[in-house]
Structure 1
Amino acid sequence: MDRRGFVKSSTAVLCMLPVFPAKGFVPVKIIDKKVPPWLKALIQQNDHGVESLRSLQIEDSGSSEFGGVKDAYDILNPHSTAALVQWGACALFSSSSRFYQSPQLLDNINAAVLYLVRTQHEDGTIDLLSTNFHSTPDTGFLVKRLVMAYTLLEKSGTADMEKVLANLKTFLLRAGKALSVGGIHTPNHRWVVTAALTKLNERWPNPAYTARAEQWLAEKIDIDKDGQYNEKSTFIYSSLTDRLLITIAKGLNKPELLDAVRKNLDMTMYYVHSNGEIVTDASGRQDKAVVGTLENYYYPYRYLALKDQNGAYAAMCEMIEKTAGPKIGGFLDYFLSDTFLWNEIPAAKPLPLNYVRTFPNSGLVRIRRNERDCTLIANNPVWFTFMKGNAVLQGMRFASSFFGKGQFQTEKIVQNGNKWEMTQQLEGPYFQPYPKEQLPDDGDWDKMPRNARPQSEIQILETKVMIMETENGMEVEITTSGTQRVPVALELIFRPGGTFTGISKIENTKDSWLLKSGTGNYKFSNDTITFGPGTGLHKNIALRGALPAMDAPTVYLTGFTPFRHIIRFS
């Protein structure tokens, strides 16, 4: 799929991945006996993706839309169409593919390329129809893969390939003009454009390409002391940036860029949940709090495991193979392009499975004890998660009916001995008459801003959360002080798919439950989270000013201020 999910097929592949440099290219058909079994499996998986995309291609040669590929919403777009070129090139090139040197698939690819040329703007850009138009960065996302596809097609030995290559070159060189001058939106776009220019320059050297790449690189890499990039997008854009920087480092002979990649990969080892998922709670992009595995990191871990002979990176590769193996198929062109990646990775070293790790720049604390782990999150209404194998408490929230602004979140997490503290202080003032000398003549309320009115009867509500480890799990203590008789509700938000015991359903709700007392259990597969004790002094779970309930099974604990309650998870 592309950046906004244009293509939804049964294969787990992504259009947004950066191309891998073509240096050291060895056609698969010549050395097919040396292709490792895992790579042959990815080639066969790719065949399913090719077939899926062909079924979505417009076949009417008399139509202006001929050759375009629809997405799951029946919208023709460049990204789905480019995906057919990319995946199809891998298939034509690979002798173990059932589409190897297929003239029919070549016709499909040529029609797709001609559609791209027809829909390309005069300035060389394409559109991302869900949000960006005349978009240089989205052009870069396509170009970095299509240059790779060009080389695969060229090396495939398919008959009548020249016409396709000529058409594809037209699209790519037009795009190169846009990439040499166009602007960007986000931090990672700089590296998307630079990587695309790098790939173009490898194929068709041009001083304009390298000059523009150097302009973007002069801004330096946006990585912090934790090892995280600016967007903190652990599922999508951090791994993307790793792959882009490797492409640039190799193509422009800048090995120093790999230091940032290593720093991010070192950090990411501590962002792994016990079930192989990645921590996404602190992301600043659209992958915030999504459920994701680490397939997008497989290529950088494998490349640097081999380059550096790094056993820890090798262990990450093995973990990703076990937890997200089929999903690495989106990187097939990387592996077809560089036989260095076919080598056996070094012996694995033990991964960190037992640690407490703080990432202050991301406002995150990670605590893992083998199959049990939790995350503490600042600047987020979801400030605690707890996982035990496949049983997942995917969030904890706390809110009060305090002047419509009682959703708890903390600006920072402070360690105090063996405890972690989060605090929030809220004020609820009332307002006195507007100063007489400032009154407007027409009585317009909007001309009498509140910040100019004297305040009185100021109510204060302070909430403190203390979190500590126990022998078997975690303990969370919530205490409030200040205004009394304020209704409060604590939400325990679990991942859908499990079963509960020890709790009662709240009537007239879809999936809301109350833990009035004692302990509850949440079981998913063979893993169980035990939580409690409970408290249920009321059933008002939709407090004014609180966030809407999540679409997930949620257990509530309720009470009134002054509120003090300790809940344990094991």
Structure 2
Amino acid sequence: MHSMRTTEHVRELIRLQESRFAEERDVMRAEREGKRRRRVQGRELNRLALLAVLHSHPESRLHRSPELAADMERTAKELLGIQLPSGNVSLYNCNIDSPPDTAFTAHMAALIVQLLQKRGGTGTSGTVETLLLFLRRASPALLEGGIHTPNHRWVVASALAKLEELFGDEGYRERAFLFLNEGLDVTDYGEWTERSNSIYNAICAYYLHTVGVVFGHEPSLEAAGRTLRMMRWLLHPGDTLATEYSGRQDLGQIARMDDRYYAAFHLMAARDRDPELAALAGIAARTAPRGSLALLHWTLEPERMEPTVEAAPLSERYTVLLGEGNSAPVPDRVPYAGPVVKHPHGAPVLRHRRGPLSVTAMAGQPECLYVQYGEARLLALKLGIGWFGAGAVSFPTIERLADDRFRLEAELEGCYFGPLPEERTRAARGSYVAMPNHLRSRIGVVRTRAAMELTLHDDGLDIRVAAGDGRGIYLQAVCLFPGDEGELRGDRLETMGPGIRRLSEGTAEFRSGRDILVVEGGACEHDEVAMRNDSPAPHARTMTVNWTTPTDAVLRIRGRREE
């Protein structure tokens, strides 16, 4: 039964790549004739992968096509043409003369070489030799070059593993282990430094799978498996990924799994005989772009991609606190210059799923709550506070009170500053900003506490905002809804400025399609449009609720579908 299903799926992948090639062929011809040519990042490599899989798979209509083989050799020479004297390539819009981007390229080029050596036939020898030349020229750059983001270490290590497979030099392994021996920056539940569920989790898992298999490095395989298994908790309705606490460029984006997820889930599910990974592989097969990388692995190593267990249905009913007991470094005293670490690694994340309801609560960042019901989304809820320019509160941790109740609490400190001795200010000649102001004594230190208590339900949650300070501190719930979808309405919504409305009392609804989020518990205890240093979100619809301490108020958020 598995074989029949797999065969049909691979045939679908082949038809998709054939359709891509039909579109690409006209562009390639126009470029050869000099009619148009643009510098497009990764164009040569993507074309090579497309041409290689269609040339190599026996069920492709273009299997062993001489015309395709000629296009492939020509494209391989174009790839060689963008290689710099250092052996590196550049990421045109960002990383110039870049060893990490060379590693991404080298890994794919090595896979294509292995595919053509195994299944390409005699007509691809020119392409193979050109790619091997590219990889030999890249070797010194990868053996000596550096990185500048955490995941680059595993990409470089993976490229070095492929080079060892092709060329057999122990130096590749030695260089890779200089990075691997630093230790893998993954939590016990599978999160990486970059906290990027739609991009860098996939990169880490996919490339560390190669490292683990080639080098026999079990910690790499175990780390990749942890990350992939974590993803069962991080799916919103419609199988989009939780990006609301990302530390990278996918922050807040609507995103689904990509081709690297596709390959990683299939490879790890087959290796570990894991029913949950098999189910996630099925989601990737349904939602990922399914580009050439997926078919490349099916053509090169079908025995490693083939399901080995039945997929287990993934639960859409769970409440899980990732990073329980961890505490994030958040600003708690003036001057408030922003988080010490943006979206800090290991900061607790609470995930609550009940079918169409998906809730994420996040420590370590001002945007501490995300709520989705079907298509209706509350992108973020922040608790603004009028406290020495603190803006919105970042909570250091999430405490479990019961199975359905959790608490986020923060203590903030403020003060005033004393004068500096004359000998400390003389050189500044009266310029305040040139003075060593960090040496000023702290005078009149004051503190306050604010908390949010979450009670989770099957159709939403209650948010109890509690602050017992008797000095009349301003608080503000800031609810951010998408600016380019849905409709926000309510009888007591007052316009406060461009894109900002205040819920003075009663309820408001955000509607997207047939799905509705209802927010109940409006208040107007002060007239501030926004708390100082809590910057408005220009591309969102903002709804505020205003309180003055002492406060013990409840916002109720419920989701429903209109029949």
Same fold (TM over 0.5): yes
Per the TM alignment, residue 566 of structure 1 is displaced from its structure 2 partner at its CA by 0.8
Per the TM alignment, residue 467 of structure 1 is displaced from its structure 2 partner at its CA by 1.4
Change (3 A) 1:175 1:374: same
Aligned to 2:10, which of 22, 30, 39? 39
Aligned to 1:128, what secondary structure does the other structure show? Answer: coil
Aligned to 1:379, what secondary structure does the other structure show? Answer: coil
Query: How big is each residue's C-alpha offset from its partner over 1:299-353, in whole Å with a ceiling of 9 and x where there is no partner?
Result: 232223223322222222233344x154466422112211225645522323233
Partner of 1:385: 370
Partner of 1:94: 57
1:312–1:351 contact (8 Å) kept in structure 2 = yes
Q: How does 1:126-141 map to 2 (within 5 A)?
A: 126-141=89-104
Partner of 2:454: 467
CA RMSD, aligned part only? 3.2
Q: Which amino acid aligns with 2:9?
A: W
1:490–1:556 contact (8 Å) kept in structure 2 = yes
Counterpart check, 1:445 vs 2:432: yes
Change (3 A) 1:342 1:210: closer
Change (3 A) 1:461 1:545: farther
CA distance in 1, matches of 2:40, 2:313: 47
Per the TM alignment, residue 380 of structure 1 is displaced from its structure 2 partner at its CA by 0.8
Change (3 A) 1:59 1:325: closer
Q: Which runs of 5+ in 2 are unaligned?
A: 324-345, 559-563
Per the TM alignment, residue 234 of structure 1 is displaced from its structure 2 partner at its CA by 1.9
Q: Which amino acid aligns with 2:181?
A: A
Per the TM alignment, residue 137 of structure 1 is displaced from its structure 2 partner at its CA by 1.2
TM-score normalised by length of structure 1: 0.83
Partner of 2:328: none
Partner of 1:284: 247
Aligned to 2:536, which of 537, 543, 548? 548
CA distance in 2, matches of 1:183, 1:546: 38
2:256–2:288 contact (8 Å) kept in structure 1 = no
Across the two proteins, how many residue pairs are aligned to each other? 530
Aligned to 1:478, which of 465, 479, 487? 465
Identity %: 24
CA distance in 2, matches of 1:234, 1:357: 16
Query: How big is each residue's C-alpha offset from its partner over 1:196-242, in whole Å with a ceiling of 9 and x where there is no partner?
Result: 12222222322322332333333333322222233322221222221
TM-score normalised by length of structure 2: 0.84
CA distance in 1, matches of 2:135, 2:167: 10
1:403–1:545 contact (8 Å) kept in structure 2 = no
CA distance in 1, matches of 2:279, 2:80: 43
CA distance in 2, matches of 1:490, 1:130: 38
Aligned to 1:217, which of 161, 180, 184? 180
CA distance in 2, matches of 1:539, 1:107: 71
1:474–1:569 contact (8 Å) kept in structure 2 = yes
Q: Which amino acid aligns with 1:258?
A: L
Per the TM alignment, residue 124 of structure 1 is displaced from its structure 2 partner at its CA by 1.0
Query: How big is each residue's C-alpha offset from its partner over 1:31-80, in whole Å with a ceiling of 9 and x where there is no partner?
Result: x99971211212222234345555555956698xx9x973xxxx354x22
Q: Which runs of 5+ in 1 are unaligned?
A: 1-31
Counterpart check, 1:515 vs 2:503: yes
Change (3 A) 1:541 1:239: same
Change (3 A) 1:131 1:229: same
Aligned to 1:219, what secondary structure does the other structure show? Answer: coil
Q: Which amino acid aligns with 2:309?
A: P
Query: How big is each residue's C-alpha offset from its partner over 1:425-483, in whole Å with a ceiling of 9 and x where there is no partner?
Result: 33443334433564427333245433443444555443221112246421111233447
Partner of 1:431: 417
Partner of 2:408: 422
2:492–2:506 contact (8 Å) kept in structure 1 = no
CA distance in 1, matches of 2:422, 2:113: 75
Aligned to 2:392, which of 407, 410, 413? 407
1:517–1:536 contact (8 Å) kept in structure 2 = yes
Change (3 A) 1:39 1:69: farther
Higher RCO by CA contacts (8 Å cutoff, separation 6 or greater) = 1
Aligned to 1:127, what secondary structure does the other structure show? Answer: coil
Change (3 A) 1:35 1:454: closer
CA distance in 2, matches of 1:274, 1:473: 14
Change (3 A) 1:319 1:525: farther
Q: Which amino acid aligns with 1:390?
A: E
Per the TM alignment, residue 158 of structure 1 is displaced from its structure 2 partner at its CA by 6.7
Aligned to 1:152, which of 115, 121, 135? 115
Aligned to 2:276, which of 308, 312, 321? 312
Q: How does 1:491-570 map to 2 (within 5 A)?
A: 491-495=478-482, 496-502=484-490, 507=495, 509=497, 511-537=499-525, 540-570=528-558
**Which segment drifts farther, 294-303 or 182-191?**
294-303
Query: How big is each residue's C-alpha offset from its partner over 1:354-398, in whole Å with a ceiling of 9 and x where there is no partner?
Result: 332222234212222333231110111110111223322221112
1:298–1:328 contact (8 Å) kept in structure 2 = no
**Which segment drifts farther, 378-387 or 309-318?**
309-318
Partner of 2:341: none
Q: Which amino acid aligns with 2:421?
A: P
